[in-house]
Chain A
């Protein structure tokens, strides 16, 4: 579950991630030139943010280690297991929108996106997902194409 309180393991990982982003910001940022306070170059701001991020990350990590010392090692469960089925189909839904709207147009893109992502729910059925996808695709495409005049053809063949 992605709910539940934050454990020391979360905070430790969170601190490391932030510090890592900070390091990245410094490494890339300094290539734009740092300059001085008076004459700042484009790299100054990102490098400063990177330093702050590293500070925050270390702070989080230290407090996480303190928490571990107090709570002991046996805090279950350490990390969440994502819902792989939902994940696969939601990511797949967006990707299929990219593919089908490029090679097929708005209507096929909408249908594929809704249908595939709907299949990510474990309680749904083929027929339900098909009906939902059909309704949303038709109503949505007409609304976006004719009312809002989105710059995407309803149907097309091959890359636009």
Chain B
């Protein structure tokens, strides 16, 4: 098994090292890193703005680049958290707790150096996990019929919407709204146009790019305009030689990095628990294991190393269910899956076999991308620090133009621009009612497949809902879903205990 994995990986490196793929991977991680550093720009917005640009690219290059934005942003987000105490990206909110005190003590360089090491180690482990785990999952999933797929999707949707931020009930509400949005357009089985209200452009359904840019672009601008404070970059002068941690600091960080990585890779395997949860769990674990927990929050190096390692290993691990089962764990993965769909590639267990270049090329590019990120971040740290100073008043108007032209270019139709605006305004309404809009995308991406598999299951069983419980694998997924809901009810309603660590209520402008 190991030898096949290695030869597949070798093949993947052959794909990823092709000059054009190398270039797109570099562009992806570069943009990701920039977006991660810029306060007030989010991964989801960045990926959706760049999505239209990938239409003309070959599928491999498109997915390499879009994935690069995601993990590249994690590197940038850490810089933002450590130097400015700004949780620009939710997974790095905990890194602020000890990263910023280190900056105040003049040890920002060390913190960043350790972060880079931890990130690279965590990411490498996550990639290994994907190499060995994804084919196993595929071997299982290839036998799934429509019944199993429906139950699995149900589990994925429930986990994705209830384990993320905010109220679980609202999360499920947004997911169902996303499912409903996926209904708009011509029904695949009967050809009947649904919810189009006589608008011709809606017969193809709601445009994915318009939905994503409306929710994560326009709605967020409407929310954040005149509300973002100017950034003070007082202690932010870092030189390269400051970044080398001392030997004792390395020894201090080694085990936290290892533990953080393990936490992250475990979290990646549970659908719905993305990097944010992983980083919080890793931090809490370190605090519990520490001989002197009071050091945490005052600049403990472990408090930076462990969450960063876990974030990165879980970010890479996130790709496992997406690429092997076609079930995205969160909205970023949903967007990447959408990019594959636009390229005409059907996600699911057959993906690895039918498009080995995409799967193994992507994995190889993860490593190449992570090395690029190390090279980008370590010597060029000064440039990233300068980027932090770009004010929001220049950012959002430029981004708005990119949104308009990007949405237009998906179909060369200005109707889509109007659609984006309407979705953005409605999306703001939901944000104002304290909804998290991200699960909408999850539901939207999975909606049509969910409906199709449900229909097919019902045809097979002659309308008997018990089929989902009669089949053992499907019953397992349903059982897990029920356990998930009961656990949520138990923790949220019956106990009302304060969370272990206070999650900052404002987790950056985007996402």
Give residues in A with beta carbon < 8 Å to B.
1-6, 10-11, 13-14, 17-18, 21, 25, 28-29, 32, 36-43, 45-46, 49-50, 52-53, 56-57, 59-60, 63, 79-80, 82-83, 85-87, 90-91, 93-95, 97-98, 101-102, 106, 109-110, 113-115, 117-118, 120-124, 128-129, 132-133, 136-137, 140, 144, 148, 150-152
CA distance A3 to B509 in the complex (A): 10
The residue from B56, B173, B405, B455 contacting A56, defined by CB atoms under 8 A apart:
B173
**Which residues, 386 to 411 on B, are CB-close (under 8 Å) to A?**
391-394, 396-398, 400-402, 404-405, 408-409
In contact, A114 and B226 (Cβ under 8 angstroms): no
Closest to A44 in B: B455
Task: Determine whether B505 belongs to the interface, using a CB cutoff of 8 Å to chain A.
Answer: yes
Question: Which of A37, A98, A148: most chain B CB closer than 10 A?
Answer: A37
In contact, A60 and B412 (Cβ under 8 angstroms): no
Given contacts A2-B432, A93-B397, A136-B401, contact A46 B194 (CB under 8 A): yes
**Which residues, 195 to 225 on B, are CB-close (under 8 Å) to A?**
195, 218, 221-223, 225
In contact, A49 and B397 (Cβ under 8 angstroms): no
CB distance from A11 to the nearest CB of B (A): 8
Known A10-B433, A98-B417; 10 more pairs at CB < 8 Å: A2-B227, A14-B170, A82-B428, A82-B432, A86-B225, A109-B404, A110-B401, A114-B398, A122-B226, A152-B412
The residue from A37, A98, A140 contacting B418, defined by CB atoms under 8 A apart:
A98
Closest to B424 in A: A94
Q: Which 3 pairs between the two chains have the least Cβ-Cβ distance?
A: A86-B225, A38-B463, A37-B463
Given contacts A97-B417, A121-B393, A151-B409, contact A14 B433 (CB under 8 A): yes
Chain A residues with Cβ below 8 Å from B173 are: 14, 18, 53, 56-57, 60
Contacting chain A: which of B3-11, B127-135, B139-147, B176-184?
A: B176-184
Chain B residues with Cβ below 8 Å from A56 are: 169, 172-173, 176
Given contacts A49-B183, A86-B226, contact A93 B400 (CB under 8 A): yes
CB distance from B208 to the nearest CB of A (A): 18
**Which residues, 164 to 178 on B, are CB-close (under 8 Å) to A?**
166-167, 169-170, 172-173, 176-177
CB distance from A110 to the nearest CB of B (A): 5
The residue from B190, B218, B226, B462 contacting A38, defined by CB atoms under 8 A apart:
B462
Given contacts A38-B458, A120-B225, contact A49 B218 (CB under 8 A): no
CA distance A114 to B399 in the complex (A): 9
In contact, A117 and B396 (Cβ under 8 angstroms): yes
Chain A residues with Cβ below 8 Å from B431 are: 2
Given contacts A4-B505, A97-B417, contact A37 B187 (CB under 8 A): no
In contact, A144 and B397 (Cβ under 8 angstroms): no
A-B residue pairs in contact (CB < 8 Å), sample of 29 = A2-B223, A5-B505, A6-B167, A14-B433, A14-B434, A17-B430, A32-B194, A37-B463, A38-B459, A38-B463, A49-B176, A52-B176, A53-B176, A56-B173, A56-B176, A82-B432, A86-B225, A90-B396, A94-B218, A94-B404, A95-B421, A98-B414, A117-B400, A140-B398, A144-B405, A150-B408, A150-B409, A151-B409, A152-B412
Given contacts A37-B458, A45-B454, A101-B414, contact A114 B400 (CB under 8 A): yes
In contact, A46 and B195 (Cβ under 8 angstroms): yes
CA distance A18 to B440 in the complex (A): 13
Give residues in B with beta carbon < 8 Å to A.
53, 56, 166-167, 169-170, 172-173, 176-177, 179-180, 183, 187, 189-190, 192, 194-195, 218, 221-223, 225-227, 391-394, 396-398, 400-402, 404-405, 408-409, 412, 414, 417-418, 420-421, 425, 428-435, 451, 454-455, 458-459, 462-465, 505-506
CB distance from A144 to the nearest CB of B (A): 5
The residue from B225, B425, B462 contacting A121, defined by CB atoms under 8 A apart:
B225
CB distance from B302 to the nearest CB of A (A): 30
CA distance A29 to B464 in the complex (A): 22
Closest to A113 in B: B401
Question: Which of B218, B225, B391: most chain A CB closer than 10 A?
Answer: B225
In contact, B433 and A21 (Cβ under 8 angstroms): no
Chain A residues with Cβ below 8 Å from B409 are: 144, 148, 150-151
CB distance from A62 to the nearest CB of B (A): 10
- Interface SS of chain B: helix
In contact, B393 and A123 (Cβ under 8 angstroms): yes
The residue from B179, B451, B465 contacting A37, defined by CB atoms under 8 A apart:
B465
Chain A residues with Cβ below 8 Å from B394 are: 118, 132
Chain B residues with Cβ below 8 Å from A32 are: 187, 192, 194
In contact, A151 and B432 (Cβ under 8 angstroms): no
Closest to A16 in B: B433
Chain B residues with Cβ below 8 Å from A41 are: 190
In contact, B401 and A97 (Cβ under 8 angstroms): yes
CA distance A50 to B177 in the complex (A): 9
CA distance A65 to B159 in the complex (A): 27
CA distance A36 to B458 in the complex (A): 10
Chain A residues with Cβ below 8 Å from B400 are: 90, 93-94, 113-114, 117
CA distance A95 to B401 in the complex (A): 11
CA distance A45 to B188 in the complex (A): 13
CB distance from B265 to the nearest CB of A (A): 32
CB distance from A63 to the nearest CB of B (A): 7
CA distance A11 to B464 in the complex (A): 36
In contact, B451 and A45 (Cβ under 8 angstroms): yes
CA distance A38 to B223 in the complex (A): 45
Chain A residues with Cβ below 8 Å from B455 are: 40, 45
Chain B residues with Cβ below 8 Å from A144 are: 405, 409
The residue from A17, A59, A87 contacting B169, defined by CB atoms under 8 A apart:
A59
CA distance A90 to B224 in the complex (A): 11
In contact, B458 and A40 (Cβ under 8 angstroms): yes
In contact, B404 and A60 (Cβ under 8 angstroms): no
